[in-house]
Chain A
Amino acid sequence: MKNLYILPRATLCKVCSGKPLKIIKLIVLLLLLVSYNVYSGISEQQQKRITGVVTDISGNPLPGVTVLVKGTSLGTTSGPDGKFQFEISQDAKMLQFSFIGMKTQEIAINDDTSFSVIMEEESIGLEEVVVIGYGSTKKITLTGAVTSVSTKDLKSSASDNLSTRLAGKLPGLRVTQRTGEPGAFSTLYDIRGFGTPLIVVDGIVMDGSDFVRLDPHTIDQISILKDASAAVYGVKAANGVILVTTKKGEIGKPKIVYSGSYTLSKYINLPEQCNAYEFATLLTQSEINSGRSPTATTYSPDDLQKFKDGTYPSTNWFELVTRKYTTAQKNNISITGGSDRIKYFSSISILDEMGIWKSGDLTYNQYSAKTVVTGKITDNLEAEISLDGRLDKRHQAIGVSGVFETMWMHSLPTIPVYANNNPDYLSETVDGLHPLAETTSSITGYTNTSNKAFQGTLTLNYKVPFVDGLQAKLMYGYYDRVEYTKRWSRKHKFYVYDKVNDIYNNTLTRNDPSTLYGTYSPFQRSSLLGQLTYNKVVLENHNIKTTLVFEQRHDINDNLQASKQFSIDIDQFYAGLSNPTVTSSNISENENQNVIGRLNYDYLSKYLFEFGFNYSGSSKFPKGKRWGFFPYTSAGWRISEEEFFKSKLPFITNLKIRGSWGKMGDDGASTFQFLTGYNYPSGNYIINDKTVSGLGFRGMPNQNITWYTATTKNIGIDVSINNGLMNLQFDLFRRDRSGLLATRALTIPGTVGANLPQENLDEDMRRGFELVLGQSRKIGELYYDISANFTYTRSQKTYIERTPDGNSYLDWRNNTTGRWDNIGWGYNYIGQFQSQEDLNTSPIQDSQGNRTLKPGDLKYEDVNKDGLITSIDQIPISRSTVPDINFGFNGAVSYRQFDMTILIQGAANYNHTRQNYFKGPLPWNRNSLKIFMDNWHHEDIYDATSPWIPGRFPSAATRGTPPSNGWTSQFWTEDAKYVRLKSMEIGYTINKTLASKLHIQDLRIYLSGFNLLTLCEMKDVDPELLLDVSYPLTRDITFGASITF
């Protein structure tokens, strides 16, 4: 049996080349090993029982205090009465007591078996251990800009989507919710505005799409590396890193926790569309305004009256297809426990969510299970096996976000749902986009997506016995994800009822023939990591930590698409006609390798230094350009530890200044830019009635293409007054990137016929600051912890390789070097034309002498005074759509059995520009938003000579609406700043006595709300979403409970 410890090298080699079977075998093997050692291990020890009680300084018993034999994971937690007891080995020397918010205590065991311990309050957060790249460190000795959030902060706020839970919690992390659709996971997040960050979960790189699907119940801690501390990740680190640590087993009796919640959601911030009367009114206005004779309008005054009084029906498509509330349910069971030899954590979650359609054809289910077993094989060797699986199922009617457009626009309120109100015949709508059909699978079909992911990780930790402080770690992770999408596009018919002859005419058939599409996308990643760590205390106060890591990662991405047409509606591939179309694309393979070194030194935890490097290789670049060296360094000085400071300013319990500098890379360039030759296939042509694929011409290659580099600098200060009465953290940061891809501007003439390849030429810079202010206090039984954070960041191009423009205006406008990025250009809106005379005397906007314009149309400033409004009259009028300022406020209060958390989040300094039919009524003569009823129109809408009645918007017109009304200007560009009560939760925990009567350890019930209240100047458009048409965000109310057995 023991021979198995030596894994033949050949086995390992095969493992890293990504053979799943081998890995499973290996895991099974190790499971056997672990179990063997668990049984052999326990009996070898000599045990003794110890007991004790833990209280706070006022003598109140403290439940939940972790009691450990120092240096081991053997221990327990104190019970409701503060008491604890457990067995320790005879040779145990020291007990360690720890509790959140209390100073950790160590007590020598000697020969005692009974202990009475008084815990003192800690200056909050300082003892916290923070996960950093390839290790962890005490928060107090951090020298980089690292923020972390742990389980207790994540527990509240009941969204099922991990990334939305993080919004506003981590200063510097920007999270923007992009949809409320179940299972869509399109939340955007970045660190300090740097771009999509690298995500590492338990040491293994994870795709963003998997990260957002992580089950929050399995997460222990999330750290974000915002500055040079990310540089250990080398060529992938330029945008910062999000580190996730998942839960592991804990020593103690098995603890079973059930959590369940039920959520009711309602959409927010959806605009209203016109009813039939309003639509007919706007249509009439537009026809008269476009020169139609009053006798030739679509609707006569009589018709209008009948719409108004309800003689003619009006269809409210939105109410027809949407439900008032949607629901979601979540259930989780986790089991944790263990002995000093083997610990385990296991969690199973089930999530069911439902979308907005009345038909029920929008659902999302997620099942996930995770198990981690950590076992001591010998005193020095620890093995950990983690198995993590997930299955996502998503069912969508063919129409999802597009249906909102259909409802606002294509679905005229004057059209009935069914022809002649006969439910057997769908009535023909504009373009055949019928909201009821679009949202009902049984009519139009569906998209079903299943996404299966499996991750298996084996970690060996080895304390090298002969060298004190030397540890070795070997980790292998295999990740496999398969997404299969089945889209069924079903043939369906629309009818128009012919009243004269009493027949239903099938005027339109869509999706003919029915077609089934399948997309199969497998992805595999294997990661291997070897790490040596050496920690040493020299001359008592000099702490040295060194780390050396080798890491490699291999990805394979594939993709297969197939479709078949059907003559009968059986939505399975076997039933299709023999005309399959199969395509495959996105085949790609990538390899990354890293060698990482790091040295930490501190003296008395007072003077802190860190040096490190990452030597990275990426397969995306040509030989000779693959390997890069990315060094970084940081230092800190805890002034508050100095004697002079302690005596003068004793109330400042912590004052640290720190700074960091690092160089990192990004290999985001497209693959194989360095190769000449021809792409195949590319385009096609029909020769002799057959399709023949063509070659694609690759242009000139760049043999020197490589990653771009980012240099990050950060200066920060941490202040803590009176042990957490006030905490302040301030960071100034700047990132300079160089080597961004651009084409050399010494642009060769177009007649050469090929562009110069992209080279690493451009440079940019982003800088800003972050401020966090917080306070935590405990007053009697009241405990509170509040903090506010504020981030301001902007970027600019510091060098752009470009060809000067032909004229000085364009050159000024397009040469953005040295200019902040967030500038939006447009026409300078100076009001609406008030009269025909105003039109006649104003600069020409339509190159037609303003004859196409009407009073109420938008008027712009003739900036260059040439009498014409042309594109060169555009000036900077707005900021971009990305906010410069993001802020959040977190509050947590607990009093006796009650607790409450609140999260307010917001952003400022950005704009939204309305698009499409948010800019005017009747696009393509389709329906309008209700807001456009407030427009310029004639007093008698049938009389083009009657006086104009002014309104907020220009007059309605058919497609001939002057293009100038739609130009980007301040009129359509709104300030999007907002403050949102993102979440609020009130919980109640039953007291321990009641709990023990119920034979449970703990029960907490809570009520929480999400997206509760928004303050924003903009109407109709959600400031987070900034999309005119999309699935709306929802306001959620959740009731939940969590029971610990």
Chain B
Amino acid sequence: MKNKLLYFLAVISLGFSINSCNDDRLDIQPLNILTSDQVFASEDAITAYMVSLYNAMQTEDFTFNFLGNSTDEAITKYTGQVQNIGDGTNTQWWGYGNIRNVNDLIAKLPDAKIGEISKNQIMGEAKFIRAFYYFSMVKRYGGVPIISEVQNFTGNNLEELQVPRNTEQEVYDFIAADLDEAATLLPITNVKGRATRYAALALKSRAMLYAASIAEYGSIQLDGILGIPASEAINYWQAAFDAADAVIVSGKHSLYQTYSDKAVNFQMLFLERGTNPEAIFAKYFLYPDKTHSWDRDMLPQGIKGPYGYSSEMCPTLDLVEQYEYIDGSPGTLNIGTQSSPVFYNNAPDLFLNKDPRLLGSVIVPFSSFKGNIIDLQAGLYDLGVKVEAGDYTALYNPVTHQPDMVNGTMHIVGKSGPGGGERSQTGFCLKKYLDQDLDQSLCITNRSTQPWIVMRYAEVLLNYAEAAVELGKIPEAKDKINMIRSRAGIVTLSDADITIDRVRHERNVELAFENHRWWDYRRWRISDQLLNNWWPRVLKPYYDIQQNAYRFETGNAGRYSKTFDVKVYYERIDPAELTKNPELVQNPLY
């Protein structure tokens, strides 16, 4: 009996085994993949889709290259580093993956099972985003292939997929068309972070300004793939003017004027986390999900965060002197000469009456930031002899008139620079966008959350002014420039003062470190004049022991001059793209 039972057991067990050799058990469903049907049946899921499209926009925010170092705004903290302004590969953005995703949405949205109002708004956003993507590419590469529908490889349509580049003008026109449609579909207000009608118009004014500059100052190359006929310039200036005007007349946005102190007001404009009337479109951050590391990267060495970063961009003396005095006089600093220096008992007095925007954008020597005096002393003068040292730890003994690490009572150089390590190489540190309330111990990787303003009202005013001057509309330009200057706290201009250089100058100082200058110099085709074989300058403060006052000297910052190659007016298209598509032509000189 027992044996039979066991036999039975064996048979059953093996029978069971063979029986359960069953494909169904191998059908394991994924837990984290949604189907197309699921997505387009739910407004929340489409919002998730939009989130990914917004997230892919190259907003050139805090996480982007420190583009100021490629202009005359700033230099890198690494003294020995050759200041070569890129080889045309530094800011690549060949965003066709994102173009595909937005095209996919535009194609599927009409059949989505959601309300008409939502549908229109989402379509508007999609067009705005697509225009933004294409603008990111056209300003880098010139004409690129315009792909407006999802392409698929079917196995035998390879040639069909090998599309040539469109002309630069066609791309700008495509952007304009998308933005016009977006402007009609988008609401006039929207929640923070999502596009509005005025975001579309502001972007249009910027894009058209770029197109007009290319037409005006560029040249036609590669049969129009690069460049726009000069005759078209006026149309684009007008389009830029009209788009900016539409934003201005709407009255939905205004300049930020919250603090009476002009410098503080300008500083706080970039730290406003609530409703900011000046922010037309901004990218927001929230700890811990979405963060950046601006404070970690930019703080002066003396008050840096816990890890080894600081002063990634050192503002140049050249930039500092671009800021005028309040009375409109040129911004050259009054330091005297080597033989008869001007002494300042209070070092920041050197910057007295400078454009308040300077003090809102740049930390000047011995000014206070986050409750600390930012010590940027370059050395001492003792008995008329200059004493320098390489490091903050070096001490000086004013009794014996000798450097003395043990009994010294004075530091020779400042804790934030200049000198080796990661200290300022120029005598200045960046202030714009630095979060003055963030505790020093939190100035670390992925901890900063101040928003990045992608498009602000002041830029629209400047776009307007630039287009107006180019169109010969001097009074209109003057009004807008004076709006900016009044808010800044410096003297306003008369019609006679308004020239294209003056407008560009205003743009440069107002928008410094907002990653405009690199692109502006390129579209004005002046980078090769301004940045090639050019030495950035440093301001060196010295403490004179006998005078008990500061004196200043200048000199070349860094070990090497900057160079700019004209080919960089257009970026290099990744050669791998050319091998995949024989129809693509490379930009000149690459």
Contacts and interface: CB of A to CB of B under 8 A. Distances in A.
Interface of A: 2, 5-7, 9, 12-13, 16, 283, 287, 290-293, 295-300, 302-303, 306, 311-312, 377-378, 380-381, 410, 414, 430-432, 460, 462, 464-466, 472, 474, 491, 499-500, 508-512, 528-530, 532, 550, 552, 554, 581, 587, 589-591, 593, 595, 617-619, 623, 626-627, 671-672, 675-698, 700, 746-754, 756, 803-806, 846-848, 852, 924-925, 957-961
A647 to B, nearest CB: 49
Contacts of A687: 47, 51, 191-194, 284
A581 B288 CA distance: 9
18 contacts: A295-B388, A296-B390, A299-B390, A512-B441, A589-B28, A593-B22, A672-B30, A678-B39, A680-B32, A684-B290, A686-B284, A688-B191, A697-B97, A752-B100, A753-B97, A753-B100, A805-B575, A959-B80
Nearest to B422: A924
A617 B394 contact: no
Contacts of A311: 406
Contacts of B187: none
A680 B25 CA distance: 25
Given A751-B163, A805-B579, 5 more contacts: A619-B28, A687-B284, A694-B51, A750-B577, A960-B81
Interface of B: 1-3, 5-10, 12-14, 16-18, 20-23, 25-28, 30-36, 38-39, 45, 47-49, 51-52, 54-55, 78-82, 84, 94, 96-101, 103-104, 145, 147, 150-153, 158, 161-163, 191-194, 283-286, 288-290, 306-308, 379, 386-391, 393-394, 403, 405-406, 409, 419-422, 439-442, 559-560, 574-581, 584
Given A688-B191, A750-B94, A958-B80, A672 B306 contact: no
A593 B79 contact: no
A693 B48 contact: yes
A377 B1 CA distance: 14
Contact of B78 (A291, A499, A959): A959
Nearest to A4: B5
Nearest to B391: A298
A671 B30 contact: yes
A958 B6 CA distance: 81
A753 B99 contact: yes
Given A298-B389, A680-B48, A697-B52, A290 B290 contact: no
Contacts of A626: 23, 26
Given A2-B2, A512-B439, A688-B191, A753 B17 contact: no
A509 B25 CA distance: 54
A414 to B, nearest CB: 8
Contacts of A528: 17
A693 B39 CA distance: 13
Given A381-B6, A686-B286, A550 B18 contact: yes
B192 A688 contact: yes
B163 A846 contact: no
B441 A619 contact: no
B84 to A, nearest CB: 8
B38 to A, nearest CB: 8
Nearest to A378: B2
Given A297-B390, A692-B51, A12 B16 contact: yes
A530 B581 contact: no
A777 B267 CA distance: 88
A748 B10 contact: no
B193 A749 contact: no
Contacts of B9: 5-7, 460, 462
Contacts of B22: 593
B36 A676 contact: yes
B538 to A, nearest CB: 14
A530 B161 contact: no
B20 A16 contact: yes
A959 B308 CA distance: 14
Contact of B32 (A587, A617, A683): A587
Nearest to A957: B80
A693 B51 contact: yes
Nearest to A462: B10
A619 B26 contact: yes
Contacts of A693: 48, 51
A287 B163 contact: no
Contacts of A13: 16, 20
Contacts of A848: 82, 560
A1029 to B, nearest CB: 16
B2 A684 contact: no
Nearest to A961: B80
Contacts of B286: 686, 689-691
A491 B393 CA distance: 26
B575 A749 contact: no
A589 B29 CA distance: 9
Nearest to B575: A806
Contacts of B153: 700, 748, 752, 756
A378 B33 contact: no
A591 B559 CA distance: 62
Given A381-B6, A464-B10, A685-B290, A959 B81 contact: yes
A782 B420 CA distance: 70
5 closest A-B pairs by CB: A960-B80, A753-B100, A296-B388, A530-B17, A694-B52
Contacts of A472: 10, 13-14
Q: Which of the listed residues B14, B26, B162, B578 has the most CB atoms from chain A within 10 Å of its own CB? A: B26
B285 A686 contact: yes
Contacts of B10: 462, 464, 472, 474
Nearest to B80: A960
Nearest to B145: A751
A806 B578 contact: yes
B80 A698 contact: no
A684 B51 contact: yes
A681 B48 CA distance: 9
A625 to B, nearest CB: 11
Contacts of B2: 2, 5, 378
Contacts of B96: 750-753
Contacts of B99: 751, 753
B389 A296 contact: yes
Nearest to A470: B10
A927 to B, nearest CB: 13
Nearest to A848: B82
A692 B48 contact: yes
B405 to A, nearest CB: 6
Contacts of A431: 306-308
Given A678-B33, A752-B153, A695 B420 contact: no
Contacts of B406: 306, 311-312
Contacts of A688: 191-194
Contacts of B34: 677-680, 695
B290 A686 contact: yes
B441 A508 contact: yes
Contacts of A306: 405-406
A692 to B, nearest CB: 5
B5 A9 contact: no
Contact of B82 (A381, A754, A756, A846): A846
B489 to A, nearest CB: 31
Contacts of B52: 682-683, 685, 694-697
B564 to A, nearest CB: 14
A752 B391 contact: no
B5 A6 contact: yes
Contacts of B51: 683-685, 687, 692-695
Contacts of B151: 751-753
A480 B98 CA distance: 43
B55 A683 contact: yes
Nearest to A291: B559
Contact of B13 (A508, A530, A678, A696): A530
Given A510-B441, A696-B52, A753-B100, A679 B290 contact: no
A617 B26 contact: yes
Nearest to A811: B579
Given A550-B21, A619-B28, A686-B193, A695 B391 contact: no
